[in-house]
Structure 1
Amino acid sequence: MSDTAPARHRHDFLAAAHDDNARRTRWVVALTAAMMVGEIAAGYWTGSMALLADGFHMATHAGALGLAALAYRYARKHRNDPRFSFGTGKIGDLAGFASALILGVFAIGIAVESTLRLIDPVRVDFASATLVAVLGLAVNIVSALLLMGGHHDHHLHDHGHDHAHGHDNNLRSAYFHVLADALTSLLAIVALLAGRYLGLGWMDPAMGIVGAIVIARWAWSLMRDTAAILLDTHDAPAAAAIRARVEAAGAEITDLHVWRVGPGARAAIVEVAGSACSAALREQLEGAPAIAHLTIGVR
């Protein structure tokens, strides 16, 4: 015998702040795109390759942020589409995984280019490049504040696996892209000032390598966490809480599956042996960690 959710049960597992996060992400996309256009235009106008390079690198981030904004829109539009068995709550994780790949490629590109410049230094227009880096950093700070304000948990900056299960990974990926831009701008400012006033031209590519390593770590962290969710990895802490409640009711679990279906929302399939009443078990599991969709089977 099995007890499943009624046919009218909705599979809307989007985050409570979904619309607010989407709006904030759109603002960041607009700011990044405007900065990108400005840098590319200034690069052509002044003939500065540094400005052009930074503008085109920002274009990759604008694309990734645009992907995050589209993911929010798609998830809301199709949240009740029956083709998605458990709703569209993981669309953001899919977009986050794609963004992590982009971040990883970006990090590799920076590392390669920086290494080549260490071997064969190029002339840098320190004054123009510093000005643009400062402007870019200002835009990134504003963007980061917008995204941080859209997250209800002050642990957004925590890259740990356990914390990631309660986060909107689409917003997290956008935040990482903004942080990557801010980091490269900050390191560039330090390196450019050292090159201009101390004659340490090698600092520019050296800082590029440092930035690439940090960005690669962010990319790996985001890729690891989103991949685990996309592959329906077993949520051990939530499963332990469910097991404790079921055993407290005197039932024996023969099969248990718990996985995430949206930001902070989990689905669970609980199969028990014996004469336990499924209604009683469901009542016992009320309040279990963010179980948004529960299926109980009694053998």
Structure 2
Amino acid sequence: MSNFTNDAFGAGHDHIFLGAAHADNERRTWMVIALCSAMMVAEIVGGSLFGSLALVADGLHMSTHAGAMLIAALAYTYARRHATDSRFVFGTGKLGDLAGFTSAIVLAMIALLIGYEAVSRFFSPVPIHFGQAIPIAVVGLLVNLASVWLLSGDHHGHSHGHSHGHSHGHGHEGEHGHDDEVQRVFGTAGVFAVSIFEDGVPPVFRITPETANSKLTSDSVSVVTIRPDGTRQTFAFAERNGYLESKEDIPEPHAFRAVVRLPDGEHEIEFEEHDHGHDDAHDAASRDHNIRAAYVHVIADAAVSVLAIIGLVLARAFGWLWMDPLAGVVGALVIANWSWGLMRDTGGILLDMNPDRRMAENVRHVIEDNGDTVLDLHLWRVGPGHMSAIVSVVTHEAQRNPDFYHAALKRFRGLSHVTVEINPTRAAAY
């Protein structure tokens, strides 16, 4: 007997999984295209009027720069206009990753061309017109810096509305992060670190043994918080891999006394509220790779301009003509490295690789802490800051329907679409 549903929460049934900064990034990208296009026209017209072949060549180079930006801009525009198109089963949120992958290939080709040209100049040096080349390189650098400034508002892909929160002890299992948010309890069974932890879910307590052979069971531990207004809340715990984690979330603010009940008695500690920045634990899941690709392109171009200026200045000052092609080789290697990183990240998303294994682990814990068993679990990214999940559950409770699991999983920020398959046991079915 099976109960299957594909009801979603978070983004709703319209399947709009665009990044929270989609409109702003689209606007920024078109602004960079306008800047590069204006510079391109000025250089080509000016070079033609004044007979400067170098200026015309740089203008043509600027056209490739604008073309690369056009990939990102068109992806934003198309994704926005077709966000509600039912033909896209999971929306158009991954179109930016496709554009980012395409841009990564373009960057790789540019790296190869620069590297080939640089190596050929080692063996066949060409005369350099320093009077023209250096000013053009400086102008190109200024345009690239302006482009970097225009794109830098959200190039890391912080998905506002999905990635904000408190960084209470981010890290791997058992790590506590900031020492000022970890309190230690000294009991007869050993020393235990009590921390407030958040990694993709609302804050929870974690209790981790810090001495050898120290071990606690979930039924022998509880925490009672006492807030300044006298409000009390009791937290039960579940056993994890080497530590205990509270089943209940910790409400804001995180300023309270906490009574930790261990087998040897009660221990009182105190937590103070701290100012916290962005939650970066889910950068991989929330990063906008389209704006990242555009940003990497202009940064790469700026880096090449800087290396070119250095090479040209040294070549003119000391007669080191080999410095110019050497700068080209270094620039090609830098661009190739950035291209590979972008290709790897976007390719993984296009192949539905799970970018947030910790969230998958936490989803499994939430369901199994309620006494059920997870038969199958798949998580993948459908857009910047949006994850989708398919969960197959075995339950002994006949009254548990898909809404029960949707409510339990609403705690996960960025989990925008959930499909639940319920498999009641024979006892539950009757």
Q: TM-score, normalised by structure 1?
A: 0.92
Alpha-carbon offset, residue 206 of structure 1: 0.4
Stretches of structure 1 that go unaligned for 5 or more consecutive residues are: none
Q: Secondary structure at the match of 1:121?
A: coil
Does residue 88 of structure 1 match 2:92? Answer: yes
- On the 8 A contact 2:18/2:383 being kept in 1, the answer is yes
Cα deviation code 1:249-294 (max 9, x no counterpart): 1111001110000001000001111235132222111122411101
RMSD: 2.2
User: Distance between the aligned counterparts of 2:350 and 2:8, measured in 1?
Assistant: 26
Q: Does residue 283 of the first structure (1) align with residue 407 of the second (2)?
A: yes
Match of 1:295, SS state, is strand
Distance 1:48 1:203, change over 3 A: farther
Q: 2:335 aligns with which of 212, 215, 218?
A: 215
Which residue in 1 is equivalent to 2:270?
A: none
| SS across alignment from 1:297 | strand
Matches within 5 A, 1:24-35: 24-35=28-39
Select between 268-277 and 169-178 the one with higher mean Cα deviation: 268-277
Matched, 1:180 2:300: yes
Quote the Cα distance in structure 2 between the aligned partners of 1:184 and 1:38.
21
1:262 counterpart residue number: 383
- Does residue 143 in structure 1 map to residue 147 in structure 2? yes
Q: Do 1:256 and 1:270's aligned partners in 2 also have CA atoms closer than 8 Å?
A: yes
Q: How far 1:134 sits from its partner (Å)?
A: 0.8
2:420 matches 1:296:
yes
CA contact (8 A) 2:4 2:420 kept: yes
Which residue does 1:13 correspond to in 2?
A: 17
Greater alpha carbon shift after TM alignment, 170-179 vs 40-49: 40-49
Report the Cα distance in structure 1 between the residues aligned to 2:6 and 2:393, rounded to whole angstroms: 14
Q: Which amino acid aligns with 1:285?
A: L
Residue matched to 1:2: 4
**1:71 match:** 75
Q: For 1:45-76, what per-residue CA distance to the aligned partner results, in whole angstroms no more than 9, with x for missing partners? A: 45555434433333222111011111111000
**CA distance, structure 2, for counterparts of residue 91 and residue 259 of structure 1:** 15
Shift of 1:36: 2.4
Give the total of aligned pairs: 295
Amino acid at match of 2:368: E
Does residue 51 (structure 1) correspond to residue 55 (structure 2)? The answer is: yes
C-alpha separation in 1, matches of 2:127 and 2:68: 30
Q: Determine helix, strand or coil for the equivalent of 1:215.
A: helix
1:169-210 deviation digits (Å, cap 9, x = unpaired): 110010011111101111111111111222111111100000
Identity of aligned residues (%): 48
What's the secondary structure of 1:296's corresponding residue?
strand
> Who is 2:252 aligned against?
none
Q: Choose the corresponding residue for 1:169, options 277, 289, 304.
A: 289
1:151 and 1:224 map into 2 onto residues whose CA distance is 17
Q: 1:99–1:6: structure 2 CA closer, same or farther, 3 Å change rule?
A: closer
- Structure 1 residues 187-206: aligned runs within 5 Å: 187-206=307-326
| 2:64 is the alignment partner of 1:60 | yes
Distance in 1 of aligned mates of 2:107 and 2:155:
21
Q: Deviations over 1:233-264 (max 9, x none)?
A: 12422211211111111111001110000001
Q: Is the 8 A contact 1:126 1:192 kept in 2?
A: yes
Displacement of 1:151 in angstroms is 4.4
| Matches of 1:9 and 1:266, distance apart in 2 | 14
* CA distance in structure 2 between the partners assigned to 1:289 and 1:153 by the alignment: 15
CA distance in structure 1 between the aligned counterparts of 2:132 and 2:42, rounded to whole angstroms:
13
Specify the code of the residue in structure 1 equivalent to 2:420: I
For residue 246 of structure 1, the aligned residue among 367, 381, 384 is 367
Deviation at 1:103, TM superposition (A): 0.3
Cα distance 1:171–1:33, how it changes in 2: closer, same or farther (>3 A)?
A: same
Q: Which moved more, 1:264-273 or 1:40-49?
A: 40-49
Give the structure with the higher percent strand: 2
More helix by share: 1
Contact 2:104 2:340 in 1 (8 A): yes
Does the residue aligned with 2:152 lie in a helix, a strand or coil?
helix
